[in-house]
Structure 1
Amino acid sequence: MTGAWIASVQEPSGAIPWFPGGPSDVWNHVEAAMGLDVSGFHAEAAAAYRWLARVRNSDGSWYAEYRAGEVTDPAKDSNFVAYIAVGVLHHALACRDTEFLTELWPTVRAAIDFVLGLRSSDGAVRWRDSSPIFLITGCSSIHQALLCAAAIAARVGSPRPDWLTAARELGSAIRDRPDVFEAKPHSMDWYYPVLCGVVTGSAADERLSAQWDRFVVPGLGVRCVSDQPWVTGGETAELALTLALRGDSRAAQLLADISHLRHADGSHWTGYQFANQVVWPEERTTWTAGAVLLATAALRDDPSTHGAFKPLSLVLQRKPRYPIE
């Protein structure tokens, strides 16, 4: 039902706005498209990626926001641009479609080359083309995207070891140079380095434990920011996805905790302000639905979801656990 709701919001062009008539941005568009794939709406997901291929800029980027086919924010966010690699790999894994990788390869290659053009000497990547700021969440997402892009490159016969080097240097910057990144109170900065494979093993356990009580509200979900009584479906589902990928049983409970955000049509409210006991904002978003579907898929050990969020295994193994050939 949730996947069908996302498909109902998708525009004829293939674009997936936040909600009917709302804005579209590339990152959330891809998150929703991955939700379509794990729900079996493969043709709709393919249309979403082909829309990106059609509207990309000549430098490989996309603008930060579109609405009804028009550009409404001309900035270029690095993590938005990079995320297509995650979605394209996820779709190919879901459909076992190597030809799709070949079709989208020029778009993925151009996107990653644009992103790496915003890289600093220590490996961190600027938030956007017009800003000197570095963000932990954005760079963590780019780390995952670089590994997915390298997996795609290997499968289309154009290996890019330099992308693996860039991912390694970016990961080191996130782990070892926290002073480089803008300090923010958002829960994403807490769990994204784990979700995106930057922090692993016992260090990941320690990172998640250290701020669990700061962000997780038992029975309600995950705070978007630490200083506000506001839990959000997207952040809760992403933390659940993080845990599910690690085999942590707390993932199922987190998804159960946001059942209060689920609408009868399968969509999900963006968030809940629990001090005033009101849904806020009054919108149901496709990217929230996509995150819930991905977390649910990870709990079911869905190969495409585990492959896209553990891309290093696809790069390093001679016979990947999740083959697409």
Structure 2
Amino acid sequence: MISREQVVQTAESIAAIQQDDGGVPWPEGHVDAWNHIECLMAMAVAGLREPVGRGYAWLAAHQREDGSWPMKVVGDAAVERGGESNHAAYVAVGLWHHWLVTGERAFAEERWPMAKAALDYVAGLQTERGEIVWERDAHGRPATYALLTGCASIHQGLRCGVLLADRLGDPQPHWELAADRLAHVLAAHPEAFADKSRYSMDWYYPVLGGAVRGQAAFELLEREWGTFVVPGLGIRCVSDQPWVTGAETCELALALDALGDRDRAVALFADMQHLRHEDGSYWTGWQFANRKHFPYERSGYTSAAVILAADALQGLTGGGGIFRDTAAPSGLTGRPELCGCTPARA
């Protein structure tokens, strides 16, 4: 485990890279809404109120009329103008997390229109079967396929949006219906998604996002445990490279914690601490064949994943259970051969 003081130091390393306009960039300089929001959640855990407030102001300033954000923003310019569905959905996770950590109703009310527009944008990209396509391009055209990791994250976003809507007295039942339909596709119809199975995220994200729980979740994680987990180091980002990454390792720890598998969650969290820098930031990954950090960078999103995992495992704030408590209701993950859905592909 890391101490509360170390958590604050890591959050301060995120604040140190925040731009003057409030955006929290990738190491190469662009900002995307999903990683930006994750960094705001981490700083909220550490009580860094001012940078968190500036970060949500950045989101409000860059949200478009349709509820989305550009894929990549550099300065004030959108350098990739498509709008990803999972980027838009994650604002609801961030705002619900902020409520759980701070209890600030006024903050949630102020940013509620932003969340409503974002989740309505997401729901508008759902197919008849239930998956949600990954983007609407710069010309407003929806993509022709969906991504499993993105949809699993969207599932959590929709669940958090429903909880926030109910708390604010503005129920959004169509989001709950969209989440139920999406949960079933994630659990029972992997053929509905583009094949990205070499990435570890496609392995554990249905558990992390709450669509798959219980025995089915343990069975899912067991199938590829030996493929991705490198004892003592963390987990691989991709199955065919000798490369472990801190963010993915912490996310798998969060997924295990959500299942009550605390021992393995704690062990994985401890394994990845070799990536910690003396200033509290974290290297993105480690190439264990060449024994070098790869890429040679320390990323805000890795530090953010560390903080969220520390909160879940240590109960530092009221937001520590956000990955445990936004799961699909039981009964939505029935056997695909009996559900009557149209398969995505023959």
TM-score (norm 2): 0.87
Deviations 1:175-216 (A, max 9, x none): 121111111111111110001110011111111111111100
Matching residue of 1:318: none
Assess if the C-alpha contact under 8 Å between 1:86 and 1:308 holds in 2.
no
Contact kept, 8 Å, 1:148 with 1:308, in 2: the verdict is: no
Specify the alignment match of 2:20 in structure 1.
12
Closer, same or farther: CA 307–235 of 1 in aligned 2, 3 Å:
closer
Equivalent-residue separation in structure 1 for 2:275 and 2:22 (angstroms):
26
Pairing partner for 2:52 from 41, 45, 58? 45
**Does 2:161 correspond to 1:149?**
yes
* Count of residues in Structure 1 that have an aligned counterpart in Structure 2: 313
Find the partner of 2:94 among 87, 90, 109: 87
Superposed displacement of residue 225, structure 1: 0.7
User: Aligned partners of 1:245 and 1:12: how far apart in 2?
Assistant: 36
Displacement over 6 Å in runs of 4+: none
CA distance in 2 between counterparts of 1:71 and 1:63 reads: 6
Q: Is 1:270 aligned to residue 284 of structure 2? A: yes
1:174 aligns with 2:186: yes
Q: How many angstroms apart in 1 are the aligned matches of 2:308 and 2:111? A: 22
Which is worse superposed, 240-249 or 185-194? 240-249
Q: What one-letter code is carried by the residue in structure 2 that aligns with 1:158? A: D
Q: Would the aligned equivalents of 2:209 and 2:323 in 1 still touch at CA under 8 Å?
A: no
Q: Find out whether 1:296 has 2:328 as its counterpart.
A: no
Counterpart CA distance in 2 for 1:285 and 1:251 is 22
**Other-structure match for 2:333:** none
Contact persistence 2:72–2:81 (CA under 8 A): yes
The answer (yes or no) to whether the contact 1:175–1:198 under 8 Å persists in 2 is: yes
The C-alpha deviation readout for 1:268-319, integer Å capped at 9, x for no partner, is: 1111111111111111110000000000110013421313652359xxxxxx
One-letter code aligned to 1:174: L
Q: In the alignment, which residue of structure 1 is the partner of 2:219?
A: 206
Query: Aligned equivalents of 1:309 and 1:117: distance in 2?
Result: 27
Q: Secondary structure at the match of 2:244?
A: strand
Give the partner amino acid of 1:3: A
Q: CA contact under 8 A between 1:49 and 1:88: conserved in structure 2? A: no
Of the structure 1 ranges 21-30 and 229-238, higher mean CA displacement relative to structure 2 is found in: 21-30
Equivalent in 32, 35, 41 of residue 42 of structure 2 = 35
* Structure 2 residue corresponding to 1:136, chosen from 120, 125, 148: 148
Cα offsets for 1:111-148 (capped at 9, x unmatched): 00111111110111001113212111000000000000
Do residues 114 (structure 1) and 121 (structure 2) align? Answer: yes
2:319 and 2:79 mapped to 1: Cα distance? 33
Q: What is the SS of the residue equivalent to 1:222?
A: strand
**Structure 2: which amino acid aligns with 1:182?**
A
Query: What SS is found at the alignment partner of 1:66?
Result: strand
Residue 2 of structure 1 is matched in structure 2 by 10
What is the rounded CA distance, in whole Å, between the counterparts of 1:294 and 1:69 in structure 2? 29
1:258 corresponding residue in structure 2: 272
Question: Which residue pairs with 1:77 in the alignment?
Answer: 84
Q: Equivalent of 1:286, from 300, 305, 321?
A: 300
Structure 2: 5+ residue runs without aligned partners?
A: 1-8, 138-142, 329-346
* Corresponding residue of 2:340: none
Maintained 8 Å contact 1:144/1:309: no
SS of 1:258's partner is: helix
Distance 1:43 1:305 in 2: 21
Provide the secondary structure at the position in 1 that maps to 2:25: coil
Distance 1:103 1:308 in 2: 24
Report the CA distance between 1:25 and its aligned residue.
0.6
Partner-residue secondary structure (3-state), 2:286: strand
The 5 Å alignment of 1:236-255 reads 236-248=249-261, 249-255=263-269
Following superposition, the deviation at residue 76 of structure 1 comes to 0.9
Give, in whole Å, the separation in 1 of the partners of 2:327 and 2:201: 22
Superposition pairs for residues 217-232 of structure 1, below 5 Å?
A: 217-232=230-245
Aligned match of 1:194: 207
**Following the alignment from structure 1 to structure 2, what is the Cα–Cα distance between the partners of residues 168 and 280?**
38
Return the letter of the residue paired with 1:175. Answer: A
**Letter aligned with residue 49 of structure 1:** Y
Contact 2:126 2:132 (C-alpha < 8 Å) held by counterparts: yes
Task: Name the aligned partner's letter for residue 24 of structure 2.
Answer: I
- Deviations along 1:75-94, whole A, 9 cap, x unmatched? 11110111000001101111
Post-superposition offset of 1:35: 0.8
Identity of aligned residues (%): 45
CA RMSD in angstroms comes to: 1.5
1:132/1:293 Cα in 2 relative to 1: closer, same or farther (>3 Å)?
same
Question: Which residue in the other structure is 1:320 paired with?
Answer: none
Code of the residue aligned with 1:153 in structure 2: it is A
